[in-house]
């Protein structure tokens, strides 16, 4: 028998108590996505010559700044939900209640990744290429959290997979009758993201997507899917400059940046990438340099403040 709708989980499933702590299902989904993306990215970088554990050193910067960027992008593009007479301004920081924008996480995460890559010697674009499929998997897992929060749904539908939202739910549109079903955008995006993983991996089998080109494909793929989903979304959406939601504008920008990234990097780097490390930061090079300095002995090492001309 074909199900006639997708039921929303009971509201109490959105959180549970663990001793004195309140654990949010949404947060667990986000954390699970981060863990899976980290594993995927490390495996891809390791196959390209990176040291084991280097991704952890990078995400220690990328994840916190990504979360901060995601939250503040959401707040800035949903100003009416947070800034009004009598509003509790602490809600701006209530990240556990949902409201984290992917495009904001990309901006904040990019700053963190840049810092982490500079510290580890990994090329930023090499890290981005390794991350691209893992990002899509992480986003797919994170969308499960939207399901538990009863958010990210679209226009009414009579399709068998319509999403149930109770009329008593704060997210339910006030102008629609009880029992209305909605397009499950969280599910559509999960499927779109997982297809995107397959697309990137299939292209990589035929074309060496290095120097940022795999990340360019990610930006184009995600931007295309998100622009369509935002166009049919009716639960609380972002502010709409010129009548177009901010997330659609951001999707257009992501697509354009993806195209530019692929074109520019193809012209700048027509040859294959030989190392994921910046010149002189390869583990072997650093080890050899250290060994050569040690070989000089204590009397021949450069004095403090003097230039080191070894190598």
Q: Give per-residue burial for 66-91: e unless 16+ CB within 10 Å, then b.
A: bbbbbbbbbbebbeebbeeeeeeeee
Contact between 128 and 69 (Cβ < 8 Å): no
Contacts of 28 (CB under 8 A, 6+ apart): 145
Better-scored residue on pLDDT, 146 or 243:
146
Contact between 112 and 65 (Cβ < 8 Å): yes
Dist. CA 44–CA 47, nearest whole Å: 5
pLDDT of 311 = 36
Query: What are 143's two structure tokens?
Result: 């969308």
Whole-number Cα distances in Å, 301 to 130, 285, 293:
39, 18, 7
Better-scored residue on pLDDT, 203 or 289:
203
Q: What is the DSSP track for 278-308?
A: PTT-SHHHHHHHHHHHHHH-TTTSPPTTS--
Q: End-to-end CA distance of the chain, in Å?
A: 73
Using 50, 70 and 90 to split pLDDT, how confident is the model at 219?
very high
pLDDT of 99 = 63
Better-scored residue on pLDDT, 242 or 232:
232
Rounded to the nearest angstrom, the gap between the alpha carbon of residue 167 and the centroid of all alpha carbons in its chain is: 32
Residue where the block lists tokens 């949010």: 24
pTM of the prediction?
0.81
Residues 150-183: tens digit of each pLDDT: 888 889 998 989 999 888 888 888 888 888 899 9
pLDDT at 89 over 80: no
pLDDT at 306 over 90: no
**Of residues 136, 112, 134, 142, the one with CA closest to residue 124:** 112
Helix (H) or strand (E) holding 36: helix 25-47
pLDDT of 122 = 93
pLDDT of 77 = 73
Helices (H) and strands (E) in the chain, counts: 9, 4
Better-scored residue on pLDDT, 78 or 13:
13
pLDDT at 304 over 70: no
Contact between 106 and 138 (Cβ < 8 Å): no
Dist. CA 237–CA 161, nearest whole Å: 22
With a pLDDT cut of 90, the percent of the chain lying above it is: 41
Query: What are 287's two structure tokens?
Result: 């080890």
Query: What are 24's two structure tokens?
Result: 């949010």
DSSP assigned state of 271: S
The mean pLDDT of the chain is 83
122 phi and psi angles, rounded to 5 deg: -75, 140
Query: What are 293's two structure tokens?
Result: 């300095």
Residues 188-209: tens digit of each pLDDT: 999 999 999 999 999 999 988 8
Better-scored residue on pLDDT, 157 or 301:
157
Query: What are 176's two structure tokens?
Result: 């629609």
Residues 103-149: tens digit of each pLDDT: 888 888 899 999 999 999 999 999 999 999 999 999 999 999 888 88
pLDDT of 293 = 45
pLDDT of 134 = 95
Using 50, 70 and 90 to split pLDDT, how confident is the model at 92?
low
Dist. CA 50–CA 253, nearest whole Å: 31
Give the mean pLDDT of 59-82.
80
Contact between 121 and 284 (Cβ < 8 Å): no
Contact between 137 and 197 (Cβ < 8 Å): yes
pLDDT at 278 over 70: yes
Return the minimum-mean-pLDDT range out of 38-52, 221-235, 236-250.
236-250
* Range among 36-50, 170-184, 229-243 rated most confident: 36-50
Rounded to the nearest angstrom, the gap between the alpha carbon of residue 244 and the centroid of all alpha carbons in its chain is: 23
**Of residues 189, 156, 171, 182, the one with CA closest to residue 81:** 171
């Amino acid at each position: 028998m074909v199900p006639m709708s997708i039921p929303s989980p009971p509201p109490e499933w959105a959180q549970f108590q663990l001793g004195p702590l309140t654990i949010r299902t949404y947060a667990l989904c986000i954390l699970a996505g981060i863990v899976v993306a980290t594993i995927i990215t490390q495996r891809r970088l390791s196959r390209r010559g990176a040291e084991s554990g280097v991704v952890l050193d990078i995400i220690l910067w990328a994840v916190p700044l990504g979360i901060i960027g995601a939250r503040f992008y959401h707040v800035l593009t949903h100003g009416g939900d947070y800034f009004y007479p009598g509003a509790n301004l602490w809600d701006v920081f209530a990240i556990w209640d949902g409201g984290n924008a992917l495009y904001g996480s990309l901006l904040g995460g990019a700053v963190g990744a840049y810092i982490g890559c500079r510290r580890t010697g990994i090329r930023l674009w090499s890290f981005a290429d390794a991350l691209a499929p893992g990002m899509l998997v992480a986003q797919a897992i994170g969308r499960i959290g939207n399901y538990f929060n009863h958010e990210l749904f679209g226009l009414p539908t009579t399709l068998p997979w319509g999403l149930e939202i109770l009329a008593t739910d704060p997210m339910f549109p006030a102008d629609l009758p009880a029992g209305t079903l909605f397009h499950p955008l969280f599910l559509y995006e999960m499927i779109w993201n997982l297809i995107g993983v397959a697309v990137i991996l299939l292209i990589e089998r035929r074309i060496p997507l290095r120097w940022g080109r795999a990340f360019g494909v990610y930006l184009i793929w995600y931007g295309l899917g998100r622009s369509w989903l935002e166009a049919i979304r009716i639960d609380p959406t972002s502010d709409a400059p010129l009548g177009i939601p901010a997330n659609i504008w951001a999707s257009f920008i992501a697509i354009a940046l993806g195209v530019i990234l692929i074109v520019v990097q193809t012209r700048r780097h027509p040859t294959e990438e030989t190392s994921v490390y910046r010149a002189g930061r390869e583990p072997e090079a650093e080890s050899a340099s250290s060994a050569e300095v040690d070989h000089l002995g204590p009397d021949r090492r450069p004095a403090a403040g003097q230039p080191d001309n070894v190598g």
